[in-house]
Amino acid sequence: MIRSGDLKHAIVIQEQTSVSDGMGGELITWSDLLPWRAAIWPLSAKEQLDALKLELVVNNRIRMRHPRINITADMRIKWHDHLTGTDKYFNMVSIINPDKRNQMLEFLATEET
């Protein structure tokens, strides 16, 4: 169960789109798809070690109420960190729908640097 008090971060789900660069190539851009509220936690050292078995550095867990749209791993999450004044981007490694009840989604994610 997710507590509404945990959902203190305003995030945006973004999807990748390709746009012609006018010279025969393509530019990759990100479009805002869905503003939402979420909880973001850094993983503990043990959770990070367990995640290394996936051969990816998963360093964040993000949880949100189920948005009723199809979210895929090729999308990303944008979060504006008010403490640092910067935008942070998270790539989704794993999308979990606990108990398949469509009440909550949980993401294991890597932070873009």
Q: CA 105, 57, 103: angle at the middle one, nearest 5? A: 5
Span 13-59, pLDDT tens digits: 999 998 888 999 999 999 999 999 999 988 765 555 565 555 556 78
Give the pLDDT score at 55.
52
How many domains, the chain?
1
pTM for this predicted structure: 0.79
- Expressed as residue numbers, the domain containing 100 is 4-111
- Rounded to whole angstroms, the Cα distance separating 73 from 75 reads 5
Q: How confident is the model at residue 1 (pLDDT cuts 50, 70, 90)?
A: low
pLDDT, position 80: 93
Question: For residue 23, what pLDDT is reported?
Answer: 92
CATH for 66: 2.40.10.270
Decide the pairing of beta strands 60-65 and 26-42.
antiparallel
> How many other CB atoms sit within 10 Å of the CB of residue 109?
24
Q: What is the mean pLDDT of residues 4-19?
A: 89
The pLDDT tens digits of the residues spanning 51-109 come to 555 555 678 999 999 888 889 999 999 999 988 999 999 999 889 998 888 889 999 99
